[in-house]
Amino acid sequence: MKVPFNWLLEYVDLDKDINEVAEKLTLTGSKVEEVIENGKEIDKVVTGKIIKTEKHPNADKLTVCQVDVKDEVIQIVTGADNIKEGDIIPVALHGSSLPGGVKIKKGKLRGVESNGMLCSEAELGLVDEDSVHGIMILDENTPIGVDIKEILGLNGGVIDFEITSNRADCFSVYGIARETAASFGCELKKVDVSFNENGENINDYLKVEVKTPLCRRYMAKMIKNIKVGPSPEWMQAKLQEAGVRPINNVVDITNYVMLELGQPMHAFDYENIEGKKIVVKMAGDEKFTTLDGIERQLDSSMITINDAQKTVAIAGVMGGQNSEVTEDTKTIVLECANFDGVTTRLTSKKLGLRTEASSRFEKDLDPNLVETALKRACHLFETLKVGEVVGGVIDCYEQKLEPHYVNVSPKWINNFLGTDIDTNDMVNMLQRLEMEVEAQDELIIKVPTFRQDVKIKEDVAEEIARLYGYDIIPTQKIVGEAVEAEITKEQKLIETVKRTMVSSGLYETLTYSFFSPKVFDKINLPSDDELRKVVTISNPLGEDFSVMRTTLIPSMLEVMQRNILRDNKEVGLFDIGKVYLNVGKELPDERYKLCIAIAGDVDFFNLKGIVENLVNVLSVDKAEFERESQNTIFHPGRCAKLLVRKRYAGVLGEVHPDVLENYDLETRVYIAEIDLATLFEASKTEKKYKLLPKYPAVLRDIALLVKDEVEVKKIEDIMLKQGKGIIEEIKLFDVYKGKQIPEGFKSVAYSIVYRVEDRTLTDEEINKVHNAIVKELEEKLEAKLR
Amino acid sequence: MREKLQQIKEEALLKLKECQNSQMLDELRVKYLGKKGELTTILRGMGQLSPEERPIVGKIANEVREEIEAAIEETLKGIKQREKNLRLSMETIDVTMPGRANKIGGLHPLTKALDEIKEIFIGMGFSIAEGPEVELDYYNFEALNIPKNHPARDEQDTFYINQNVVLRTQTSPVQIRVMENKKPPIRIIAPGRVYRSDTADATHSPIFHQVEGLVVDKGITMASLKGTLDAFAKRMFGEKTRTKFRPHHFPFTEPSAEVDVSCFVCGGTGCRVCKGSGWIEILGCGMVHPDVLRAGGIDPEVYSGFAFGLGLERIVMIKYGIDDIRLFYENDVRFLKQF
Ligand SMILES: [Zn+2]
């Protein structure tokens, strides 16, 4: 919210620079977004009167003006077409400066001397570039030869505040003035709400009926004999500095009061109120055209203002075209009311219409503010001679909001904050916030109705803390018993996985947790696959981000695609992230998966090597790899599953060419996806030392001729089975096809290491086992010794 | 004979001086000292000498032998040294050629920063807690003092699964889950993903990371909140870092604050990163609201606590001067390799 500094100073006597005030208020809780010092850059711009205009002799579109700036008459050439003789305008003299570092110097325009420039509102930095056209025309009574900053009240600058939702009371100049006074400990001046009324009674003109408790208060006054016209310069200037466009004196007064006190108001043209009656009620299913000329669909969740026949306003949001104040308006009804915050917010959200009024009402205003605001408006109508205030007032206020009490002991506050603040100081701070305090053992605090956010003792502690100064509160270590950090087994193991992946040459990636349901087709997943059971977002950012992922593979493929298309050809990546499995409960099963992807000068066994390393580093119990030919994401002949204690723990393989095609990939990509919980369950973190061998090992080599399709794992299983505990290790050292090997066969060569712990093995023992191995290999696998 | 011995000795010493390599040296050894060598041959003729002469000549012959042997040893040493030097010079390599090693990868910059943060808090006795990302509305909002229709719900554009289930918009729901399961003293941080329905652009991402902190115990004060976060800021951004606590409003803490640290780019003098202010906002915090303690099953009359939350991406972006948040999720290896 933009607060013009000079406006603020009308209510506090303060000899401080705008930046000092901004800094202080930030530290006491009114967050400053920006300090705007509009007038700062303006220099040597004065008011002047155009006393003569002539066509430029050499240019159709230029005008030569003689401008009276009091001490002299100067000649200025302008391109503007909205000026005439007698207009009072801002004149930038020779040697003057304008916002944005613009310097004005005398010179010649198409051969005619020009000694300055006539300024538009944009050139003075009052509005954005394109919003207003032409030179700024000032009120005809404006004195000439006066510094424009004085006329427009640009001396002070503007502070833009971020108002948090709990502080509706700060959404106004006066609210900020109250905070300023409390922060600096200076006096807050009263608002002038005095005015005179004529002898008539509003009740002879109007009846108001409130039919919904969501309108907590509805007050009305009437103003007669209105002369609609522009409001005075100073008011327009203040409104503009606060970011509100001046319209006419009637609307400007209501806006002025809203900005000053935070209470929105609305003016209806009395002529258009049928049946001398205003009814506040819930809307029906109806269409209604608002002031901005847009037809809007209303429903029964919204409050409307009606006359005897029709809807005239959407309560708290915007008035209607049908009762708008126009140039011809003579009599107005001034509405000042309080509407429920949530209702206003939902209405404005549904209509897509957030106004200055609705953004205040939605914070739940104080119903007791209504009266002050209405009186202030009457004061302005009278003093600005806009109209005559009709006597009497209408006030529908069923449940009057009274101040409430909060009790808290100063000792508790000091214990809670870790401070040692004197009770008298506390009382003083609270009084500065317009709270009445009775100090006994406890502070008994009467909280004004505009501070509904102060409800409990913690709220009071905050009020005291912020006025005391957060920066003065000491910094301490946490007292109490020492607590030791606990790191869970899973957290430790995840760190180990990350380290292992990094030392395998892989870079970590992070990918979105949601994807498109279309990715399942892209990765060739069967239509009945479990992974297609997703958790769906009901309001996604688009289909591409609409379901929670059940696998990391699609996102990983996308990352691979992005990298490979960008010529990062040798890629090795890993991702540790959650998948969200729809298990039919209210919340999904969130599980950590590890996804690895490699491409470039690598093959399946590079990938398998990484997984094997991981399994070893984690000491996973009973981990084995088995051929997997059913997983449609992968090449049917180049895919394995990882089993841990016979349970499925993951898959690894070369991505199926169809899937690669779907991702526009022309290089082979190898991917693994592993369920970390399954791996971690079988991770034996406790290790035991085993004696180093005392007796010598015996090495026997064996070379076999087997059919191509015989997997080496089958051979090894037989060796271990027949080994009867005397085999220490089996090493595959050669697989050979080609010369001397018949078509369809391969030669595999092993070193078998025989050893037992407690003695030297005899040849006899070894031969027996070795022969049994050979025999079973020959029988079961039709292997031949070479 | 004496003259002959003298002659052999001189000849041998001369030849040894000219000897260049170990092969020649071997030949010389055989020639003078071998079984059929010149010295042996002479000594065989000792029988013809008189008994008086024999010991004298024998002695001389031994001296000659020892002298030749010593000279051979000496020469051998020299040759070996020369041969070693030769080999060393031939083995010279270009040490500026690249080394060979297994490739090492790297962690994501967000993980690295998070690891740093975790380490700091673990050092202060904090444990790491986790909670679900697909979360009940109750934990994400209601229990945190954000009832239905609270304006804070609008400020955080929420992804909904259904009426009761959301993608958590903050890590704060972990606070409630931890309090439900653990009695004080509680000292945890809860890092994780959070979700807001913002379309991705240079400064917005529908997914980002927060680190939540929660401390609950008897006698926890606002001063301990300040002390803890000030210590964190100094360890994270350097010992000279200053902190500034500004009052703010969050529904789940009271009092609440936003915390600025002195700009870790310019040190507080003002630069482009801190927009000239010398300060960078890094986190929100406050004393846990009594309603929130109660929602976690903890009696606010007995215990008090503080909580804080910081955005990870923001800190990493400022620290490394990254100008587009989308880079974190694009995973271009040329980006990942820089950290
Ligand atoms: Zn800086």
pLDDT class for A124, splitting at 50, 70, 90?
confident
Least confident piece of the model among A483-487, A540-544, A629-633: A483-487
Ligand 1 centroid vs B318 CA: distance in angstroms? 10
As a whole number, mean pLDDT of residues A537-553 equals 95
**Exposure of A441 by Cβ count < 10 A (0-12 exposed, 13-18 middle, 19+ buried)?**
exposed
Beta strands in A583-631 (DSSP E): 589-599, 623-627
pLDDT at position A756 over 80: yes
Over residues A269-285, the pLDDT tens digits come to 999 999 999 999 999 99
Over residues A323-378, the pLDDT tens digits come to 999 999 999 999 999 999 999 999 999 999 999 999 999 999 999 999 999 999 99
pLDDT above 70 covers a percentage of chain B that reads 99
Rounded to the nearest angstrom, the minimum Cα separation between B175 and chain A is 17
Encoded tokens for A517? 């349901």
ipTM score above 0.90 = no
Encoded tokens for A356? 């200055």
pLDDT at A511: 97
Amino acid of residue B307: A
Examine residue B185 and say whether the peptide bond preceding it is cis (omega within 30 degrees of 0).
yes
pLDDT class for A234, splitting at 50, 70, 90?
confident
- Cβ atoms B288, B204 nearer than 8 A: no
Q: Which residues of B touch A588 (CB under 8 A)?
A: 134
pLDDT at A330: 93
Contact B199 A541 (CB under 8 A): yes
Q: Give every CB contact of residue B38 below 8 A, 6+ residues apart in sequence.
A: B8, B31, B32
Handedness of CA A651, A657, A660, A665 (dihedral sign): positive
Of A580, A603, A588, the residue nearest A514 (C-alpha):
A580
Contact B105 A488 (CB under 8 A): no
Amino acid of residue A284: G
pLDDT at A81: 85
Cα–Cα dist A349/A338, whole Å? 19
Ligand 1 centroid vs B263 CA: distance in angstroms? 4
pLDDT at position A650 over 90: yes
pLDDT at position A132 over 70: no
Burial A533-553 (b: 16+ CB within 10 A, else e): ebbebeebbeeebbbbbbbbb
- Helix (H), strand (E) at residue B255: strand B253-262
pLDDT at B29: 85
As a whole number, mean pLDDT of residues A576-596 equals 96
**Among residues 298-327 of chain B, which lie with CB inside 8 Å of chain A?**
304
Cα–Cα dist B220/A416, whole Å? 7
Rounded to the nearest angstrom, the minimum Cα separation between B86 and chain A is 39
Which of A361, A470, A534 is the mutation pick for testing B, counting most B CBs within 10 A? Answer: A470
- Cβ atoms A504, A613 nearer than 8 A: yes
Cα–Cα dist A356/A339, whole Å? 14
Q: Does B277 touch chain A (CB under 8 A)?
A: no
Q: Give every CB contact of residue A565 below 8 A, 6+ residues apart in sequence.
A: A664
Cα–Cα dist B26/B30, whole Å? 6
Ligand 1 centroid vs B232 CA: distance in angstroms? 19
Over residues A686-731, the pLDDT tens digits come to 778 888 888 999 999 999 999 998 999 999 999 998 887 899 999 9
As a whole number, mean pLDDT of residues A532-545 equals 95
pLDDT at position B2 over 80: no
Residue A135 DSSP one-character state: B
Ligand 1 centroid vs A41 CA: distance in angstroms? 25
Cα–Cα dist A784/B199, whole Å? 66
Contact B230 A475 (CB under 8 A): yes
Q: Give every CB contact of residue A24 below 8 A, 6+ residues apart in sequence.
A: A16, A180, A183, A184
- 3-class DSSP state of A542: coil
pLDDT at A630: 92
**Exposure of B232 by Cβ count < 10 A (0-12 exposed, 13-18 middle, 19+ buried)?**
buried
Of A396, A282, A257, the residue nearest A347 (C-alpha):
A282
- Cβ atoms B193, A580 nearer than 8 A: no
Cα–Cα dist A214/A541, whole Å? 34
Cα–Cα dist A779/A706, whole Å? 12
Would strands A727-736 and A698-707 be described as parallel, antiparallel, or unpaired?
Answer: unpaired
pTM for this predicted structure: 0.83
Amino acid of residue A255: N
Which of B254, B279, B338 is the mutation pick for testing A, counting most A CBs within 10 A? Answer: B254
Q: Which residues of B touch A478 (CB under 8 A)?
A: 124, 187, 215, 217, 220, 224, 227-228
Of A112, A108, A11, the residue nearest A56 (C-alpha):
A112
Ligand 1 centroid vs B43 CA: distance in angstroms? 98
Cα–Cα dist A621/B307, whole Å? 41
Return the number of other C-beta atoms located less than 10 Å from residue A499's C-beta: 12
Ligand 1 centroid vs B242 CA: distance in angstroms? 13
Cα–Cα dist A748/A768, whole Å? 22
Cα–Cα dist A347/A316, whole Å? 9
- Cβ atoms A141, A232 nearer than 8 A: no
- 3-class DSSP state of B166: strand
CA distances from A295 to A499, A557, B190, B204 (A): 62, 49, 49, 34
Ligand 1 centroid vs B262 CA: distance in angstroms? 8
Rounded to the nearest angstrom, the minimum Cα separation between B99 and chain A is 16
Ligand 1 centroid vs B280 CA: distance in angstroms? 8
Cα–Cα dist A508/A556, whole Å? 11
Question: B316 or A99: whose pLDDT is higher?
Answer: B316
Cα–Cα dist B76/B20, whole Å? 9
pLDDT at A60: 87
pLDDT at B255: 96
Alpha helices in A672-711 (DSSP H): 676-681
Q: Which residues of A touch B195 (CB under 8 A)?
A: 513
pLDDT at A130: 62
Ligand 1 centroid vs B330 CA: distance in angstroms? 28
Question: B149 or A577: whose pLDDT is higher?
Answer: A577
Beta strands in A83-205 (DSSP E): 88-98, 102-104, 107-109, 112-114, 116-118, 158-162
pLDDT class for A638, splitting at 50, 70, 90?
very high
In total, chain A counts a number of residues equal to 786
pLDDT class for A133, splitting at 50, 70, 90?
confident
As a whole number, mean pLDDT of residues A220-240 equals 91
As a whole number, mean pLDDT of residues A737-763 equals 90
Among the partner-chain residues B167, B197, B223, the one whose CB lies closest to the CB of A473 is: B223
Rg of the Cα atoms in chain A: 42
CA distances from B3 to A268, B57, B64 (A): 148, 10, 12
Cα–Cα dist B198/A512, whole Å? 13
Rounded to the nearest angstrom, the minimum Cα separation between A32 and chain B is 11
pLDDT at B55: 83
User: What are the backbone angles phi and psi of residue A506, rounded to the nearest 5°?
Assistant: -100, 150
Q: Does A613 touch chain B (CB under 8 A)?
A: no
Handedness of CA B267, B273, B276, B277 (dihedral sign): negative
- The vertex-A338 CA angle with A337 and A343, nearest 5°, equals 130
pLDDT at A131: 61
Contact A478 B228 (CB under 8 A): yes
Cα–Cα dist B313/B111, whole Å? 10
Encoded tokens for A381? 């109508």
pLDDT at A668: 95
**Among residues 465-524 of chain A, which lie with CB inside 8 Å of chain B?**
465-466, 470-471, 473-488, 491, 498, 501-513
pLDDT class for A586, splitting at 50, 70, 90?
very high
Cα–Cα dist A183/A28, whole Å? 7
Over residues A4-23, the pLDDT tens digits come to 999 999 999 999 989 999 99
- 3-class DSSP state of B113: helix
Contact A345 B151 (CB under 8 A): yes
- Cβ atoms A581, A588 nearer than 8 A: yes
Of A675, A684, A674, the residue nearest A620 (C-alpha):
A684
Encoded tokens for A619? 């000491």
Beta strands in A483-561 (DSSP E): 507-508, 514-515, 547-548
pLDDT at B156: 66
Would strands A277-282 and A207-210 be described as parallel, antiparallel, or unpaired?
Answer: parallel
pLDDT class for B64, splitting at 50, 70, 90?
confident
Of A413, A671, A706, A418, the residue nearest A552 (C-alpha):
A671
Q: Which residues of A touch B337 (CB under 8 A)?
A: 507
Encoded tokens for A173? 């100049």
pLDDT at B13: 84
Ligand 1 centroid vs B273 CA: distance in angstroms? 5
The neighbouring-strand residues paired with A593 are: A577, A675
pLDDT at position A150 over 70: yes
Q: Which residues of A touch B249 (CB under 8 A)?
A: 164-167
Query: Could you write out the three-class secondary structure of A5-31?
Result: HHHHHCCECCCCCHHHHHHHHHHCCCE
As a whole number, mean pLDDT of residues B197-210 equals 93
Over residues B164-200, the pLDDT tens digits come to 999 999 999 999 999 999 999 999 999 999 999 999 9
Torsion of CA A634, A635, A636, A639, to 10 degrees: -70
Q: Give every CB contact of residue B63 below 8 A, 6+ residues apart in sequence.
A: none
**Exposure of B154 by Cβ count < 10 A (0-12 exposed, 13-18 middle, 19+ buried)?**
middle
Encoded tokens for A59? 């240019």
Least confident piece of the model among A121-125, A130-134, A390-394, B73-77: A130-134
Over residues A19-30, the pLDDT tens digits come to 999 999 999 999
Which of A164, A364, A473, A478 is the mutation pick for testing B, counting most B CBs within 10 A? Answer: A478
Amino acid of residue A471: D
Rg of the Cα atoms in chain B: 43
Cα–Cα dist A688/B123, whole Å? 30
pLDDT at position B302 over 90: yes
Return the number of other C-beta atoms located less than 10 Å from residue A523's C-beta: 22
Rounded to the nearest angstrom, the minimum Cα separation between B271 and chain A is 17
Cα–Cα dist A785/B211, whole Å? 63
pLDDT at A426: 96
Least confident piece of the model among A103-112, A121-130, A549-558, B99-108: A121-130
Of B203, B198, B135, B201, the residue nearest B172 (C-alpha):
B135
Find where tokens 């075209």 sit. A321
CA-nearest residue to A345 within chain B is B151
As a whole number, mean pLDDT of residues A572-585 equals 96
As a whole number, mean pLDDT of residues B268-294 equals 92
pLDDT at position B322 over 80: yes
pLDDT above 90 covers a percentage of chain A that reads 76
Encoded tokens for A200? 């008539």
pLDDT at position A433 over 70: yes
pLDDT above 90 covers a percentage of chain B that reads 60
